[in-house]
Chain A
Amino acid sequence: MFKSAKNEIHRLFSEIENRFSPDSEDYSSPIVIKLFQRGLKIYYDSNGCFDVTVSPLTIAWGFFNTSYRVPKPQEIKALLKTVGMEKIKIQEGKLSLSPGMKLDWGGIAKGYGIDLASQSLIALGIQKGFVNAGGDLFCWGENPENQPWKIGIKHPRKSGFLGVISISNLGAATTGDYQRFFILNGERHHHVFDPRTGFPAKGKQSVTVVGPETLVCDALSTALFVSKYPDSILQKYPEYGAFIVNSEGKTSRIGKGFVFQPIEQN
């Protein structure tokens, strides 16, 4: 069973990597169309705070090849014409992009892959476990101590953890300004863009979302990170809760409650 599980995980994540890597321009496969449609709903629900069309911004700011730079406002204004999921149509079973548009699945594909992998493992008969892919996860059943799984949330500024959440049969995903960034003239520029302005979103260090689907947690963690009104977004997702660290390091929780034990910070 272990070998089957391992092979299945490898197959699924290889497919995810092939379909959704930055260099891929696969716009016709059913899996891509399905993920686009899921993402489109979250795009509208978040008033554009989550958006898979931000790739031109990612490239312009140098995150694609680590040639980091701060683009001029006129450049950003021009690039914004190529950003916006509502500009993409589905025609003849294929995504139709306008010239200059490019897709960045980074805020949703990982969560999707985790959900698919978890479902496969459960279907194989694995009754308890978690799939943790690069910091987002889904867990089911109980841990070896017959308790809910204890998940440490990374501190956005220090080594160690903010706290521990105790969950089971749920996904969790974090978006943070510490995951990919550069510092220029003393200012941190990170990779989570506000698709409406073209600049890195301000006001938060990290957002962790917990809920039934990791795909949704993944996308919502980005949306809530960008939005000034995360409460109003989460009201549309009553099964999800979020833990937010603002830019001053102050923490807050919104949405559905989950068990969280803070860690004393030294």
Chain B
Amino acid sequence: MNRRRFFQIALATPLITPLFLASKNRPNDIDLYLVSNEPQLSLPSLLNELSKSNKTIGKKFSFVRPHPSEEKIKKRLSSKGWNCVPPSEKDHWNFSFHSFVHKISPSFTLVQNGRIRDIRDQNLFLLWKDMNQSQKPSTWLTIASLKKRQRSISKGDTVIVYKDGEKIDRLSLDNDGSRYYNAREGRITINLKGGKAWISESPCRHNICLMSPSISQSGERIICAPNHFFIEIEGPRFIDTVIG
């Protein structure tokens, strides 16, 4: 399969696009996108080849997402002299895994500084050709990132106001100002400024909502439990909900 076509399909996966866009801002990052239901067959050779041009990075890797072949990958890489390290350690390959709805031909593509890197001048082309011809169509995508691939939590654009379990208002974070709501025990005031929202007035006893820091990122919330009232930031998001 054409490498650019492969990448178009990979980009169609909602989770991948932000990682690709984020790579543009990370010099010296390399991301390896590998389509294969048996990544353990190709990863050692691929990573060995890529590591030749990054001699400061040792033969270390970690998993940031579960993978059905995690143990096979660990075993295979360990037999080639690689070490599995905790994700918190610096300077190693981070593996994450996603799945496609449809099967596609095994392949891999390298992205560096947000650009697809030409592999024709390296041994990688032979590996790619061999993979494409010898392995079955696959639904799993392995992403191996050289720098820590932080999930970019996005800034939200709207504050959703909930009272008694019902959505009662939407406020744009682009507009500064204050809004007042009648809650069970009295008035609650929401302030908006500089793309952030917070509660500045509440009749509740413990004022936990007043003590909460301002929120601005998708999924963040401030809750006033006694008044069955909360506000939540809505926007493009890479988390489903928040605890803490």
B-binding residues in A (CB < 8 A)? 6, 10, 63, 65-66, 130, 132, 134-137, 139, 143, 145-156, 158-162, 164, 166, 172-174, 176, 179-181, 206, 208, 251, 253, 259-264
By a CB distance below 8 angstroms, the chain A residues around B207 are 66
Chain B 79-123 residues near chain A, CB threshold 8 A: 86-88, 98-99
Name the 5 nearest CB pairs between A and B, nearest first.
A154-B244, A152-B239, A174-B244, A152-B242, A264-B150
Give the distance in Å from the alpha carbon of A174 to the alpha carbon of B242 in the complex. 11
Which residues of B lie under 8 Å from residue A161 when comparing CB positions? Answer: 153, 217, 239, 242
CA distance A262 to B196 in the complex (A): 23
Question: How many Å lie between the Cα of A174 and that of B239 in the bound state?
Answer: 17
The reply to whether A149 and B165 contact each other, CB–CB distance below 8 Å, is no
- Tell me the nearest residue of chain B to A257, going by C-beta: B86
CA distance A174 to B244 in the complex (A): 5
Whether, in the assembled complex, B148 has its beta carbon less than 8 Å from a beta carbon of chain A, the answer is yes
Quick one: CB contact mask for B215-229 with A, threshold 8 Å, 1 for yes? Answer: 111011001010000
15 contacts between A and B (CB under 8 A): A139-B240, A145-B15, A150-B151, A152-B220, A152-B242, A160-B153, A160-B220, A161-B239, A164-B151, A166-B66, A180-B211, A208-B243, A259-B65, A262-B148, A263-B153
Q: Is B205 touching A148 in the complex (CB atoms < 8 A)?
A: no
- Find out whether the CB atom of B217 lies under 8 angstroms from the CB atom of A143: no
- For the complex, what is the distance from the CA of A149 to the CA of B220, rounded to whole Å? 15
A10 surroundings in chain B (CB, below 8 A): 165
Alpha-carbon distance between A135 and B225 when the two chains are bound, in angstroms: 11
Residues of B within 8 A of A152 (CB): 153, 219-220, 239, 241-244
| Chain B residue nearest to A210 in the complex (CB) | B243
Complex Cα gap A176–B66 (Å) = 28
Contacts A160-B217, A259-B66: A151 and B242 contacting too (C-beta < 8 A)? yes
Summarize A's interface: helix, strand, loop or mixed: strand
User: Across the interface, which residues of B come within 8 angstroms of A158, CB to CB?
Assistant: 213
List, in ascending order, chain B residues with CB within 8 A of A151's CB: 239-243
Given contacts A147-B15, A160-B220, A261-B64, 12 further A-B contacts (CB under 8 A): A130-B240, A135-B242, A147-B98, A149-B240, A151-B243, A152-B242, A156-B244, A160-B153, A160-B217, A164-B153, A173-B243, A261-B150
- Evaluate whether A260 and B242 lie within 8 angstroms (CB atoms) in the complex, with A148-B66, A160-B217 already known: no
Chain A residue numbers with a CB within 8 Å of B243 are: 132, 135-137, 151-154, 172-174, 208
Q: How far is the CA of A63 from the CA of B207 in the complex (A)?
A: 10
Chain A residues positioned under 8 Å from B215 (CB to CB): 159
Partner of B205 from the list A66, A173, A262 (CB cut-off 8 Å) is A66
Q: How far is the CA of A173 from the CA of B241 in the complex (A)?
A: 13
Closest to B88 in A: A262
How far apart sit A132 and B243, CA to CA, in the bound complex (Å)? Answer: 8
Q: Is B68 an interface residue (CB 8 A)?
A: no
From B15, B88, B240, residue with most partner A Cβ within 10 Å = B240
Which of these, B66, B206, B225, B238, contacts A164 with CB under 8 Å?
Answer: B238
Q: Which residues of chain A have C-beta atoms less than 8 A from B99's C-beta?
A: 146
User: How far, in Å, is A61 (CB) from chain B's closest CB?
Assistant: 13
Contacts of B239 in A (CB 8 A): 150-152, 161, 164
A151 to B244, CA, bound (A): 10
Residue in A closest to B63 when the chains form the complex, CB atoms: A259
- Chain B residues in 8 Å Cβ range of A260: 87
Determine if B241 and A159 form an interchain contact, defined as CB atoms under 8 angstroms apart.
no
B36 at the interface (CB under 8 A from A): no
What are the interface flags for B45-78 relative to A under an 8 Å C-beta threshold, 1 for contact and 0 otherwise?
Answer: 0000000000000000001111000000000000
Confirm or deny: B14 has a beta carbon within 8 angstroms of a beta carbon on chain A: yes
**Contacts of A206 on B, CB cut-off 8 Å?**
244
Q: How far is the CA of A174 from the CA of B241 in the complex (A)?
A: 14
Residues of B within 8 A of A263 (CB): 150-151, 153
Enumerate chain A residues within 8 angstroms of B196, measured Cβ to Cβ.
159
Question: How many whole Å from A59's CB to the nearest CB in chain B?
Answer: 13
* CA A65 to CA B207, docked complex, whole Å: 10
Q: B23 at interface (Cβ–Cβ under 8 A)?
A: no
Interface string of B185-226 (1 = CB under 8 A from A): 000000000001000000001111001011111011001010
